[in-house]
Amino acid sequence: MSRLLIGGSWVDGESVDELTEKYRGTTYGQMQVASPEQVDAAVAGALEGISASKLTPYQRYKILLATARLVEERREHLISLLRDEAGFTRADGENEVSRCIQTLELSADEARRLNGNLVPMLSAANASDRMGFTIHAPRGVICAITPFNSPLNTLAHKVAPALAGGNAVLIKPSSYTPLCAVELCKALLDAGLPSGLLALVHGPGGRIGRQLLADQRIAYYAFTGSTQVGREIQQAAGLRGTQLELGSIASTIVCDDADFTRAIPKILNAGFRKAGQVCTSVQRLLVQRNILDDFVPLLIAAVEALKVGDPSDPETIIGPMISQAHAERAQNWVEEAVAGGARILTGGKREGSIVQPTVLTDVQESMKVYCEEIFAPVLSVIPFDTDDEAVERANASPYGLAAGLFTSNLHRALRMSQAMRFGGVHVNEASSARVDAMPFGGVKDSGFGREGPAYAIREMTEERLITISY
């Protein structure tokens, strides 16, 4: 049962939604839906919690570290839950839990070392007998709105740095994956976090999200999701702080001097893990024309060797998408592309919520599979001739979250990566390469602000100047 956490207590909502397992469609749980009054009470409770909190940075460190240990102890339960809620395979679930643990540990470290700077006051005229320094103070209530495709680690990337910085957090998770949020909250509370510093509400984003945006008591919004919703959040937030990790059409470039044995496994993982439902999944695979005949057959053979189907089978690499409707939409886009002249090199079929890993070629720039985020296990092979052409095609998108580049030439790597307008460019890695300690975020329509505990904690606190005359 996915209950609400309001004012330090677990409570029922105004109604109940059934939760269905993503592969077989059977019911595995329920979600309590919050009323408008309960959402209001959740914000009020978080405000009271932050007002009453006396936690020191060391205590916050200890709580987050203890939470990481509890998540590790509950690993098997969480992997099972991720399979039911998100359709994750064993490998995807293991990775999600391991990264959540790492994010909690990194955030714990940041709680201890969050510090300001000494201001060189004496470097200015008429500033003798005066000193100045900065500190990082909590903002207040941080609202975390999170997606279904990383229901544990993305949530940890918002909640843990916020708590490390001394804030209270109100969580609105995806209605597809509410139980993972419940489990993370339970771990935090069991680790000793004062219950008033955490609130959790479930329900439709259109109603609850808008109510949260209208509530001026919330100081900061951390959101991962679509660019359309991100724009709404930014407009509603006004002068309040936001961290927005939004849409993407990720490109990975394979140059003619690339190491195929290194590139292909990384491209497969980046294109098809979590059934391609990752904002940095490879969607445009730019391959230099003079290696197409050698590279593409190896890629197709590797794709066709991937096991697809039941996520409870430990051998399965690609499981179901989050819903049959999402899978049908992806299939429709592929069919539209084929009708417009694209060719399917492998895949292209769907069974229920399972979409076979699909590789297309001969795609046109006007096709949805090229110019819109497909968020499915579908990638398009796009030939290029020159480095400048590859960079230009990768940059030709309203989005700019992450990109990959495979080459064995350091000069080429540095020249191309510096010309690519993305939040992150990964050389000899695919577009979805990520270490949780690094700054993660985009440019252009992919949003702004950075995840990564060391970076997020500074965005989730206010830098305050203190001067002293003596």
- Active-site hit among 110, 245, 373, 451: 245
pLDDT per residue rounded down to tens, the chain (470 residues): 789 999 999 999 999 999 999 999 999 999 999 999 999 999 999 999 999 999 999 999 999 999 999 999 999 999 999 999 999 999 999 999 999 999 999 999 999 999 999 999 999 998 889 999 999 999 999 999 999 999 999 999 999 999 999 999 999 999 999 999 999 999 999 999 999 999 999 999 999 999 999 999 999 999 999 999 999 999 999 999 999 999 999 999 999 999 999 999 999 999 999 999 999 999 999 999 999 999 999 999 999 999 999 999 999 999 999 999 999 999 999 999 999 999 999 999 999 999 999 999 999 999 999 999 999 999 999 999 999 999 999 999 999 999 999 999 999 999 999 999 999 999 999 999 999 999 999 999 999 999 999 999 999 999 999 999 99
Give the pLDDT confidence score for residue 2 in this predicted structure. 87
Residues 6+ apart with CB under 8 A from 78: 71, 93, 96, 97, 152, 180, 183
- Active-site hit among 183, 279, 373, 429: 279
CB neighbours of residue 87 within 10 Å:
26
Give the pLDDT confidence score for residue 407 in this predicted structure. 98
If we measure between CA atoms, which residue out of 434, 442, 449, 444 comes closest to residue 153?
A: 434
- Distance, CA of 67 to CA of 61 (rounded, Å): 10
Q: ∠ CA 245-223-199 to the nearest 5 degrees?
A: 155
Give the pLDDT confidence score for residue 286 in this predicted structure. 98
- Distance, CA of 304 to CA of 264 (rounded, Å): 13
Assign 3-state DSSP to the chain and report helix, strand, coil percentages, each to 5: 45, 25, 35
Is 279 in the active site? yes
Is 245 in the active site? yes
**Half-sphere exposure for 263 (CA within 13 Å, toward CB):** 24
